Amino acid sequence: MNSTRGFLKAGGLRRSARLLRIATPIMLMALVLIVLDRCFPLNLPQHQRHFAQVVTDRDGIPLRRFADDKGVWRYPTHLDAVSPRYIEALLGYEDRWFYYHPGVNPIALVRAFLQNVQGGKIVSGGSTITMQVARLLHPHPRSVPGKLSQILRAIQLEWHLDKQEILALYLNNAPFGGTLEGVEAAAFGYFNKSAAQLSHAEAALLAVLPQAPSRFRPDRHPGRAEQARNKVLQRLGEFQIWTEQTVLEARQEKVAAFGLQSPQLAPLLARRLMQDNPEPLLQTTLEFNLQQRVQDYVKLYTAQLPAHSSVAVLIVENQNMEARAYVGSGQFGNTQRFGYIDMVTADRSPGSTLKPFLYGMAIDAGLIHSHSLLTDTPRSYGLYQPDNFSGGFNGPVSATAALQKSLNIPAVDLLARLGPKTFVSRLQHIGIPLTLPNHEAPGLALILGGTGTSLEALVSGFASLARGGLVAPVRYQHHEPLKNRRLFSEGTAWVIHRILQDSPHPDQLRTRRARGSNTDNPGIAWKTGTSYGYRDAWSIGVSSDYTIGVWVGRPDGAPVPGHFGAVTATPLMFTLFKQMPARRTTITRPGTVTDVEICWPTGTKKVDTRPNHCHKTLTSWSVDKQVPPTYALAQENQVDRSPLTTIWINPETGLRVDQNCVNIKRVKRRVALWPGIVEPWLPAEQKRGQQVPPLDPRCEQPAELSGQSLVIHKPETDTLIQPPPGSNELPTIALSTLGGIEHIGWYVNGQLWKQTAPNQSVAFKPEHPGKFEFVAVDGSGNTDRRILYFTSSRRPAPKPGSDISLRSSVESPALSEPKPESG
């Protein structure tokens, strides 16, 4: 028994020893491989410091590419994004046993060795896809040691990665000629399409191209490329990977490739995104075809502008605030036009483009409704005296007309009511930053462009008119969140959009077509702006689906005289709208907006107003049933009285009396008076002298109801001023006033001309013939107005009240068609 046990024990020891002798080398080899793997790690792409980057449109089409530190560009892709035709062609031609071997195919290596010996030179390397990836990651010379290194690296790859990962490395790093690496870059570079869209012939060509990228380049050697492609097709047919019919049709396809040109669409946006994101693939929200059309058109449009001028365009889809086209420079790369400066983000004076935000805030604050009575007359706020862009004054205007005509003075007065600090803080809060000069406190001039902002910020704000009052930053990548903040109520957004939608098209201004016949911009609300000195011309349009912003000017801030929003930026904006898809949606009128008839000068509902207080009836849009009355005028030297004023009448004589009249019967009467400063623009029957009866001689005259206390004494309005007989020289006239307080400010065609003492005469000689508006304003805001016509030739006098225009070779700015904007 003991001997048996000893024998078994000895046998077990011998077997253990044999196993140990076998296992030890294996363990040592494994240990060596582990050590080597740690000492010589794979040079996988994610370990590289510098990557090529590709910026694409929303569908993955390259817009711009940035090469890596070696000048190579790749387009990252994955297996699911590559056509199965290419995978079939690649594996069928290069490595049919890819999914079965451990990285090295011994049969292929033996076959390659015999072919090389028989040919007396290297004919085939017998490399698998894994081995080719190993060589891409770790280049080596074509030698026996190099081949051994390649084999070891292939085994190392199979150890760390699965087959799908190895194949993905090949798809992204294989050389395809020139600076192209990766099948996606090759597909776009040679065929201007994604690798997912390759035909059978194109897939076969790209499968063989990495074998000799320079020799088989289809753009340089189409004949060689076709021969190599047909060799692949033949093998795929022999192995029955593709049908005979498929191979035959593919062979008939001619090899045609684009020249390798780097795409240059949205280059400034691409640069901007690349600086903020190191990812190799940056997919934007832009649309390739639209971006190309817009960029090409803007380039041609810029060529027609004065030297050193540029153009910027931003097109955004309102629903999701995704950018669809982005042109930061009119001619990218043109140094004379500052082609490397992105004017979409540049801080510039917005001109009058902020006015819709002001009117919307005023409606929501209950200060006005859409047809509130505003005044466009000479005003002063301390040392600040705003004027209108087109010259002249309009007297009483509705809020709608003031916004459509972009009148400056009503906007300044409205901002004084709302408060500049409130206006700026509201815009800052919802993401529309305003830059104030030298960090000064907000002032009234900011509503006319005395601040800075960007085209991007303006487009973001204007889009709220089609988004129910919600503002969100423009989105350039799908993963960016949609951050909504409320600027207006839904009803106010609709009202402002409707007001701007009804603005006359520039062509209508020239042809004097009726405003209601506007068919050139159906559904598009638009606003223009021009900064001081003609430095910036703006036009922003909002349809139900898109918002388009256009800026034109010189990036260096120099003036471009004669170029302003309506003339330079607006035609381009409307042309771009014609490039957009047909309207898909409409902006529905909210239930909070109702039509209401209101009366001037009170501004109240007609149903609540006595007939004798309703001098003029208008239909207004009311938001949340708010109908604020006409507000008192905000001015440093004057707070005008309420439109409704109480007076006392002697019932026997009908004359006005007051407390100074003793022993006279009195009855109270309420009258509706227009603001005193608009008296010169009112019809005779609506002036204060017609609304208020004369004062009883036994009473003292109350100054506040005495009617107009400032009168331009001469000449009379509608006078034609002609040269004396025998002369063609423009005459000089004397202007004088009666009455007035403190000082008299004289305005000629809306511009402050001179200041004189009351009752002082002043001489005026025009520089050219034409129609001139003279307005005199005293220190208390009393106003009078005259229209005079100057001619250098003798002609019959015009009929009183006629709207004539006397023109010569030099035309007065006042004779031009009114421009729907201001500076």
Quick one: how far is CA 571 from the chain centroid? 16
Quick one: how far is CA 365 from the chain centroid? 28
Strands 281-283, 53-56: pairing is parallel
Question: Which of 340, 289, 344 shows the shortest CA–CA distance to 313?
Answer: 344
What torsion do the CA atoms of 190, 191, 195, 196 make, to the nearest 10 degrees? Answer: 180
Give the residue numbers marked as catalytic: 94, 352
Question: 3-class DSSP state for residue 296?
Answer: helix
Question: Which of 207, 253, 255 shows the shortest CA–CA distance to 232?
Answer: 207
- SS3 annotation, 315-362: EEECCCCEEEEEECCCCCCCHHHCCCCCCCCCCECCCCCCHHHHHHHH
Q: Are 471 and 430 in contact (CB under 8 A)?
A: yes
How many residues does this entry show for the chain?
Answer: 823
Q: Are 193 and 187 in contact (CB under 8 A)?
A: yes
Question: Which of 710, 716, 707, 734 shows the shortest CA–CA distance to 784?
Answer: 710
Q: Are 610 and 594 in contact (CB under 8 A)?
A: no
What tokens does 246 get? 């498929």
Number of continuous H segments (helices) and E segments (strands) in the chain: 21, 27
What tokens does 665 get? 């019967």
Instruction: Report the interhelical angle of 408-418 vs 420-429 (nearest 10°).
Output: 80
Question: Element (H or E) spanning 417, and its range?
Answer: helix 408-418
Query: How does DSSP assign 550-612, residue by residue?
Result: EEEE-TT----TT--IIIIIHHHHHHHHHTSPPP----PPPTTEEEEEEEETT-SBGGGS-GG
Q: How far is CA 333 from CA 208, 264, 329, in A?
A: 37, 10, 9
Other C-beta atoms lying within 10 Å of the C-beta of residue 24: 10
- Does residue 715 have a cis peptide bond before it, meaning omega lies within 30 degrees of 0? yes
DSSP letter, residue 697: T
Question: Element (H or E) spanning 181, and its range?
Answer: strand 180-181
Instruction: Report the interhelical angle of 355-364 vs 420-429 (nearest 10°).
Output: 100
